[in-house]
Amino acid sequence: MHQIAEKIYWVGIKDWELRLFHGEEYTTHRGSTYNAYVIKDEKTALVDTVWTPFKEEFISALDRDIGLHNIDLVVVNHTEADHGGSLTLLMEKIPETPIYCTKKGAEMIKKYFHRDWNFKIVKTGDTVDLGEYKLVFIEAPMLHWPDSMMTYVQGPGVLLSNDAFGQHYATPQFFNDQVDRCELYQEAMKYYANILTPFSKLVRAKIDELKALNVPVNMIAPSHGVIWRDNPMQIVEKYYEWANNYHEGTVTIIYNTMWGSTKKMALAVAEGIESVGIPTKVFNLGKSDRNDVVTEVFKAKGILVASSVINNGILSDTAAILEMIKGLKFKNKVGAAFGSYGWSGENVKIIEDALQAAGIEVVLEGIKVKYNPTEEELTLCKDFGRRFGEKILSLGENNK
Ligand code: FEO
């Protein structure tokens, strides 16, 4: 238990060992935390729990530090197992305790945990008096699931924002001003790019709604990572920017190669793009972390995707990342394709179709090289890169 504000305590778990989240989908190089909070006023409220593997540790510490029977109400901001995963064990001990959640939250809890507890369904603006403080609920559907909501603690002005504004980032410290700012923003951006991008329109609408409430926000305590106490609105402003078709005007090249020909092409294409002054990053997908690459796609204006041909198709890592990019629904990015082939040569068309299906406008006809590129063909690749760079420049900053 760690006090984060007057009468408010962090009672979560720091998961130092976590390296993959959402099953095997999301890499967490710096671990993560599952943040749950207790507000100890005249009434005591527990907001969220922790992931299932930590349920015994969590409940035992909660019993020791707070006393389970002193908990007057439980708030479930979000059902997903990393936050709702200790509910069954908790509710075995205090089965009559009311659970405040959204309508969707109650439905999901029933489907996930196959239990029917004392649900109190809340909507935006509903409140619970704790004594000096008051909890105000704010529905936040799709941030990150349909059931999600935030809980604002009126009095100290603490927003318990659940997934929004979080980071998969385990640190000994609790607050944003105590940790390395570069690491913090790297993890916050990776989280946004890989999890929240498809919901960007909703993110902006929710931020507008939060601002319109015109209430003091002195601290934003998400359900993962560190708590924003130093200028907490900085992450809200950052989310607003990230949710607005974000890019940094750069190019990201992602490729797979079997015998190095597509790699040679990628490096020549990068040289061509940089010749017009656009910073370009190059990733071999077979050797790169896919979530880090997705973050680089998020930052780029131009996406070049390449693969050699295998079995009349493209290499599996390229296919996988194109599927991820499609699901994340990036907006306002342009792309093109290239790659080497031996005899059938389907790669460029497959990639171009996938880019278009992902909403990325293909602005340049792709290029192919048979077998191993000659010096002349590498010059053509360089020229292809230069023309792609010029396309990006022609779009201008007002395209952002
Ligand atoms: Fe951290 Fe959507 O769960």
Q: How far is the CA of 83 from the centre of ligand 1 (A)?
A: 7
| φ/ψ (deg, to 5) at 130 | -105, -10
For strands 44-47 and 73-75, give the pairing.
parallel
| Ligand 1 atom having least distance to the Cα of 224 | 1
Contacts of 57 (CB under 8 A, 6+ apart): 13
- CA-144 nearest atom, ligand 1: 2
Tokens of 223: 């359900």
**Cα-to-chain-centroid distance, residue 175:** 20
Kindly list the catalytic residues: 22, 78, 80, 82, 144, 163, 191, 224
In short, whether 112's Cβ falls inside 6 Å of ligand 1 is no
- Which atom, in ligand 1's list, is nearest to the CA of 223? 1
CA-nearest residue, atom 2 of ligand 1: 144
CA angle 36/295/186 to nearest 5° reads: 55
What separation in Å is there between the alpha carbon of 308 and the centre of ligand 1?
37
187 CB under 6 A from ligand 1? no
Helix 233-242 and helix 181-191, axial crossing angle in degrees, nearest 10:
50
Rounded-to-integer distance, Cα 180 and Cα 171, Å: 10
Q: Is 48 in the pocket of ligand 1 (CB under 6 A)?
A: no
Q: Is 32 in the pocket of ligand 1 (CB under 6 A)?
A: no
Tokens representing 198 are: 């498809």
**With a 6 A CB cut-off, is 223 part of the ligand 1 pocket?**
yes
Nearest CA to ligand 1 atom 3: 80
Start-end of H helices in the chain? 55-65, 81-84, 87-93, 103-113, 181-191, 200-213, 233-242, 261-274, 290-299, 316-328, 347-357, 375-395
Q: Is the CB of 82 under 6 A from ligand 1?
A: yes
Q: What is the pTM (predicted TM-score) of this model?
A: 0.96
pLDDT per residue of the chain (400 residues) written in tens, 0 to 9 = 999 999 999 999 999 999 999 999 999 999 999 999 999 999 999 999 999 999 999 999 999 999 999 999 999 999 999 999 999 999 999 999 999 999 999 999 999 999 999 999 999 999 999 999 999 999 999 998 999 999 999 999 999 999 999 999 999 999 999 999 999 999 999 999 999 999 999 999 999 999 999 999 999 999 999 999 999 999 999 999 999 999 999 999 999 999 999 999 999 999 999 999 999 999 999 999 999 999 999 999 999 999 999 999 999 999 999 999 999 999 999 999 999 999 999 999 999 999 999 999 999 999 999 999 999 999 999 999 999 999 999 998 644 4
The CATH architecture annotation of domain 252-395 reads 3-Layer(aba) Sandwich (3.40)
How far apart are alpha carbons 221 and 317 in whole angstroms? Answer: 36
| Cα–Cα distance for residue pair 91/354, rounded to 1 Å | 47
Nearest atom within ligand 1 for CA of residue 162: 1
Please give the CATH superfamily to which domain 2-242 belongs.
Ribonuclease Z/Hydroxyacylglutathione hydrolase-like (3.60.15.10)
Q: Is 147 in the pocket of ligand 1 (CB under 6 A)?
A: no
d(CA 308, CA 371): 9
Q: 21 pairs with which residues across the strands?
A: 26
For the chain, the structural domain boundaries read 2-242, 252-395
* Helices 181-191/290-299 angle, 10° precision: 90
